[in-house]
Amino acid sequence: MMANGRLKKLVLVTVSVLAVSGCAKDGALDVSSGVGVSVTRTGCPAVAVPDHTGDITIFNPVNSTDSSAIDVVANITNLRSTCNSEGERIYTEATFDVRAVRTRPTGARTVTVPYFSTVIQGGTAVVAKRINNVTLEFADGDYRASASAKAGSYVDASAARLPEDVIERLTRKRKAGDPDAALDPLADPAVRAAVARSSFELLVGFQLTQAQLQYNATR
């Protein structure tokens, strides 16, 4: 659904998964003693909002998508993350705000919208997913409301590490004249696959219906 978007009162979503990791800086050249690839990794996943899931439009009537039928529009903003990668388990927490606008300000109103948090491995594989709700409270006469939410994941640090042989291939110094001096180790499909398997994302967005997703993608 979502990983192509390279990849907020509320309920803390705790996602227990086997591993979550991300690359802080891959592919930097280290030429201090020959040419090698300096790879700095962290067990913390990249955190992002996937394409077309960062806003939700509620219509009244619900079967209309005319602009005159727009009731409430909410957006995810201020996505931030913290991560504790020390120890055998890594905890990452994403926090975000939801800001909403309604078209008719008469009367106090409560609007609840669902959101998801999903862990993606290697850009495509869904490792875990949780769905929760964020509640927006509109005061009488107010057009706007906002709320905050969060999502988190506990992970196994051991699975976030690259295999030793892959690390060796990525970081081994290469000097001029070596047979593989001009070869990029990341060009090797096996190395790329190993890096992908240990690369994860924590994605957060609104849990949309198929019609809502289509509206966001085609409007």
Q: Tens digit of pLDDT for each residue in 92-107? A: 999 999 999 999 999 9
In a domain, 6, yes or no: no
pLDDT of res. 120 = 85
- From 40, 24, 126, select the one nearest 83 (Cα to Cα): 24
Q: At what angle do helices 189-197 and 164-171 cross, to 10 degrees?
A: 120
Q: How much is the average pLDDT of 128-144?
A: 97
User: Is residue 2 domain-resident?
Assistant: no
Q: Which residues of 184-203 are buried (b: 16+ CB within 10 A; e: fewer)?
A: ebeeeeebeebbebbbbbbb
**Residue 63 half-sphere exposure, CB side, CA atoms within 13 Å?**
0
For residue 197, tell me if it sits in a domain: yes
What integer pLDDT is reported at residue 12 of this predicted model? 28
Q: Judge if the upstream peptide bond of residue 163 is cis by omega within 30 degrees of 0.
A: no
Is residue 182 included in any domain, yes or no? yes
Looking at residue 134, what is its pLDDT? 98
Whether the pLDDT of residue 133 is over 90: the answer is yes
The span from the CA of 219 to the CA of 217, in Å, is 6
Per-residue pLDDT at 138: 98
- Answer yes or no: is 1 within a domain: no
In whole angstroms, give the CA distance from residue 49 to residue 208: 13
φ and ψ at 177, to 5 degrees? 100, -20
**In total, how many domains does the chain have?**
1
* Residue 163 within a domain: yes
Q: Which residue has the higher pLDDT, 46 or 207?
A: 207
Q: How confident is the model at residue 181 (pLDDT cuts 50, 70, 90)?
A: low
The reply to whether 98 falls in a domain is: yes
Supply the range of the domain harboring residue 175: 12-218
User: Where is pLDDT greater, at 84 or 99?
Assistant: 99
Q: Is 7 among the domain residues? A: no
pLDDT of residue 40: 59
